[in-house]
Every structure is written in C-alpha cells, then in structure tokens.
Structure 1
Amino acid sequence: MFDAHLLRDLTPQVLGVLVRRGADFAAAEDAVQDALVEAVRRWDAAAPDDPKGWLVTVAWRRFLDARRSASARAMREVHVHREPAPGPAEQADDTLLLLSRCCHPALTPASAIALTLRAVGGLTTSQIARAFLVPESTMAQRISRAKRTLAGERFERPGDVRAVLRVLYLMFDQGFMSAAVADERGGTDLAAEAIRLARQLVASVPDDPEAAGLLALMLLHHARRDARTDAAGDLVPLADQDRSRWDTAMIAEGVAVLQGALAHDRLGEYQAQAAIAALHDDAACAEETDWPQILEWYDELVRLDPAHPVVALNRAVAVGHVDGPLAGLRLVEALDPALPRRDAVAAYLHERAGNAAEAARLYARAARSAPSSAEMGHLLRQAARLNRARSGSD
C-alpha cells in the first residue's frame, strides 16, 4: 500500500545514493522525482519488499537513460515495465553526504538553506518560498543558481560537519524568530524542519558531540515556542512567559541529548549554548534562574570563541544579574554601537538600574533597527510602558 511518509523519508536517501555514485545534483533530483512518480503509480497495488532498493534502481536507470540520449529518455517507460530487482544493497546513510553537498561553502547561507530544504527536507519550491516570505519565482531562481554553482562537482565523501551545523542553526534561528509558516503537509516550518534534519545528522555522526549539542539547543529553545507570543500575537520575553505552556517532554529530551553530548568531554559552542538554554528551562520562574551558573557557561563560550560579539553581549546580561546592572552596562558600553540588539540590552540593564528615562530612549532607538516587526513592536511597547510610568509619577 502506498505510504507518502515512507516516500518522503526515502527521497533524500535515494538522492544521496545517486549523488555518491557521481550523478550531477540536478540530474539526480530529476531522476529521483521520476522514480517517485512511478512508485506512486505502482505501489498502490503492492509495495516492494525493499522500497529504497526499488527507488534507487529505478532512479539510477532514469539517470542513465537521460544521460545516454534523448531517444532513450523517450523510451524509459520500457525499463520499468516489470518491477525491477532491488539491485545492490545500499545500507550506508547518505544523509550527511547530501547535507554536505547542500551546505557547500560556495553557496550563500540563504541558498544553502533553500537547497537543503528542497533536497533533504523534501519541501516544494512553493513551500520554501512561503517559509522565506518571497515569491515562488524568486525562490526557484535561488535554487537553480545553487544547483548551477554545484554543477560538475563530485562529492564522494561527506564534507565538513561544521558547515552543515552552521546552516541548520541558521535555518532554525530564522524559523524560530519568525512566525511559523505552515505548509500543506500539516504545519512544517523552518525551525521544525531544522530539528528533523538535525536528528538525521546526529544519527549519521553519533560520535560528534557538537551535532548532538546543536540538536539539544534546538529542542530546548523550541520547547518554549508556544509561550513566545500572547493571544494578540505579540512577542513575550522569556522572563514573562507562561512556563506552563512550555513543552516539558521536549525539554527532557533536550537535556538528555545534551548530557550525552557532554559525556564525550569535548566541549563546543553548541553544547555550551544548550547548557545555558537548559538552565533557563529548568527555572520554575524567572526569579529562580541560576544566573551564576549561566555566567560560568558564558565564560566557557568566551573561551571557545573570544571574538564573538553576540556572546559578549549576552554575557553582559548575565553579569548584570550576577554583579549588578551597572557592571553589565560597563561591558555593553565597550561593544560596537552598531552591534544588533546592543541598544535593547543596554535599555534592559538601565531599567534594572532604575534609569527609566534612559531605558525608554534606548528601547525606542533599538526598535528602529529591530530585525523583525514582532521584535520592533515589543521594544516600542517597552518604551511606551516606561514613559507612561514616568508620566504617572510626575
């Protein structure tokens, strides 16, 4: 019996096999799509014993047909008149190979994310365009350019896992910071898709603690997804969120994945970030947050990446909670004024220090450079709240 979910899971595996055998990316994708069409037609009657082997065999034959000649392409239906034998067993997991190809350093981050969603995630161009909030024609051009960039390159072994982790993290961050965009398959969005792909990656490289650290980080953040906005759709900061709406099962899974990663004793940035997220998730309320331990983890992050300005900015918040807001402000003032969210952090610390007027001014200024309309609205409401309080006290 035809199983759409099975086909979706097998598609990137089959595509990975063809790529590993030397097929050009675009041609391999066309061949796999032909095989999927044939599977939909034939599997309603009876699915083969080895669905992946069947798809690999049909897709490879389609690829060879297309490469040999146009006339062979016209005759390709002859080759699948009988159900093909499964062919040589392909037990290797090609997910990492395919992810490596999609995350090639020659591609821009946006193109790498789009190609990953198309080839590994199985999303249509229309679905990806909606997730990025761009016209379908724009996304089609972006994916076509990415394929042309990779044309002719051979990928016989997986590439740098770090590049894959970076693309998955960017994908998750874009989805998490924006409103969920559902597709026809029932609510898939960029953040959820990044988690799904991270699970596949962890299965491909089970001894890589940073891959597990990234998965843990995604889970621990995604567990708060439902509480990040109120009934009106306005952004709710972490300290004010209704923690009863957090997904406790997802938090427990994230903590377990993180503990497994830390057991390797090879600390990396994603593991340290996940540890910070776990401490936030562990607090029953904002007042119970273990800021001293969070600061210790930020110190580890600074040791791992001393030049990262965002880490320094977030560390200033932790210092503000441990050593007082003025100590945090001194750290913020030493950072580049053009650093994103610098004004918002300074406003938060000024408010904690009792400087309401300066905090309101900085919240309003931060809103002008906010990366999203939701964040801009939140910052403007913070400024208005402080101005109303000051007017009422005058």
Structure 2
Amino acid sequence: MSAGVVKVGLLGLGTVGGGVIKTIRLQQEKLFARLGKRIEIVKALVRDSEKERAVQVDPALLTTNFEDVLKSDVDIVVEVMGGVEPTYDYVRALIEKGCHVVTANKELLAKRGPELVELANRHQVHLAYEASVAGGIPILSVLRQFLRTNDIHGVRGILNGTTNFILTKMEAEQLPYQEVLKQAQELGYAEADPRSDVEGFDAMYKLYILAQLVYGESLPLANVVRKGIADLSPGHIRIASELGYRIKLIAQAQKTEQGIRLSVQPTMLPLAHPLAQIQDSFNAVQLSGNIVGDLLFTGRGAGELPTASAVVEDLAYLLTQPFTPHPAWEEKTAEAQPAQAEDERVLCYLEGSCPAATPDRVLHFLREAGVTVTKLKVQFDLGGVLRAGLIATGIREEHEAVLKSDFGLDVRCFPLLETA
C-alpha cells in the first residue's frame, strides 16, 4: 500500500459500482481524516467500456480484461459484478495475489463462501461482505459485536425489498401479483428476470450468510426450506387481513435440538408484529439474544447508495484493522426439513367449487382427523363455491391431499409467526 494512497479496483460498474464511486468522491475528505490516506480508483472491470454511465469516469480506468485489474497494483478490490462464474475465479486470483476483497455478492458467498473464507485466511487478507446481506443495514457488524456477550437463538427478517414492495402494493391496492410485478420492474425494483427475488433465492443466500456468522455453520442450500411469492393471490392477502394477519416473505434461522433450521417462505404475521409494519422496499432484521432480548434493525436493503454505503464502510474498516483470521465457514448436512412441524399453527386458505366442500363438512373432516381448528373465516360460500381461511394445528400433507381429492379444494398453508 503506497504512502498516502489506497489503490482500489472495481469489478463491475453498474448501479452499485457507480454508487461506490459517488460515495468515495462525496466522502473523500472524511475518509482521509479517518484513514490518513486518499482512496483512488485505479481500474474498473466492465462489460462495455463504451457504455454511457450515470457516473463520470476517466475512460483510461475502464477495462474489459480482468488481467488488467490483476496487474494494476491494486491494494483492495471491490466486487460488485454479481454472479458466481467467472466472479469466483476473479476473486480467487485476487486473494491469491494478496489483495483484500470487499464484496456485495450474496450468491457467490452462499455457493462458494467456505472456500473463499479458507483461502482468505491462508493468504492473510480481509474478505469483507457487509453489503451482501441487507444493503445499508449494518447487521453483520452488529452481530459481530453482540456475539461477544449474547447467545443469538433466533434471526428472522425481511431480506428482499422487491418482494416486500410487491406484497405491500398487492395488499394496499388489491392488485394481482403480475400487475404489481410489472410496476416493480418499471420502477427498477425488480429485474427483467425477477426469479431470484420472487422465488426466494436472494433471501436464501442472505440467510445462509447470517447463519454462518451467528452459528458458525449453515445448511447446504438444498436443505433450506424455500418458497416464493409468485403464486400468491389477492384472495390469500384478503383472508389474511380478515383473520388479523399480514403476509410477508420471512427468512428465519433457528437453532433447535435437531440442528439448524433455515427457511424462506411467505409467513402470516399478526398486524401488530414489528415485521408486519415494514412496508414498501424496506428490509428489516430481528435478533433474539439471551441477554439483550429482541432487537429490530430496518432500512433500505438495496439500491445504489445504501449498498454502496456498506461497501465503503467495509473498505474503511479493513484499512483501519489488522488482519485476523475469519472463523471458518462450515456446512452441516441435514435431512430435508418439512415446511412446518406437525404441532405448528398454520393459516390454511381453501378454495374450490365442489358441492361437498361446505364449511361444516370440512371442519368435521379435520376434527375427525385430529386437526385443531381455532378460527375460521368464510370469505365466500354459495352454490358449491367455497373460499375460506382457517387457523389450525396439526394439519399434515395427508390432510391437504384429502381436502384436494375428496373436497375438490385448492389448499395453501402458511406458517404463523405469532411471537414478536
């Protein structure tokens, strides 16, 4: 690291990369006062060096060849290009060269994190990733502080702003999913291909990273319960509201007697629950510690400046801290987890047009099967058409199968998150 200057390379100069440059320029004097060095962007890897960009950059800094970054005598590289290939190969080469790496790439960490952590430790370089989980919310830094004194027995939250925006609009304006998704794409909240967000992959990657930090281990991604929001309807949202609940895509990590349980799925929350109050594109993370109790952190989880803020904070942090080995990341293999435990309360949405599907017959079947129904809300029951929601304990897949085969009902069960 040359005297008075920190040389930084960028992998990617899209929305977040542009935000990183803007943030460094805006905060250059404060960073100099804090670090005693000036941060200089010396090379940026891009797909198209001729493309017009929202931030002005000296064309001489741009390259489409990774080797130019590797040979440019950089001290730190900020990776915001996303994806796993060829990103993993680039990050690996930089670490082997002795470069510190700051990344916002949750998919890369969730799929290759154990290897990258081991590699960074071997070469004694920082691998910083605050921006990978919740954008501008410094949740990883908070967890590192709390883990010194608290046992964290639960982490849950809304980790994807796109899906939270969609669910907020669907409820507020009673619009179907596809219509709101189109609005989200027009506003820039959703990609042209929104599958990573709406099918729960994005939140799952972030949850994997949180579990590694909190528990020192995580599950293989294939063992995480993951359900998205693409099949949610205004009917689901209305019946939830009529029963006193709101649907959110909740990511949750818990340590149980059977091991770690990780899930990302649409979940029913009481309207008074803190996470039920998180609207639009905001994210939130709730921690439960044995000493501090419950804490809630909220803020914008994505976007140019929130994510760039976390990247630059990481950059500043690693310039002021000596290298210390990062705790190893481990994966514990486990049996595939059921979507819900047998004794878990769920909200079931029933819809169908079979004459046998009357509320009384459905309730009689469930009670005979040992299912406890504590609340029923019939949304529509006329001429053999039934739309209803019920809160039940003990409902299993075989019960759902009978409701479909014998009663002609489409069944969708949502877990309930009752405790604050």
Both proteins in one fold, TM over 0.5 = no
TM-score (norm 2): 0.29
Greater per-residue strand proportion: 2
TM-score (norm: length of structure 1): 0.30
- The structure richer in helix per residue is 1
Report 1 or 2 for greater relative contact order, CA contacts < 8 Å, sequence distance ≥ 6: 2
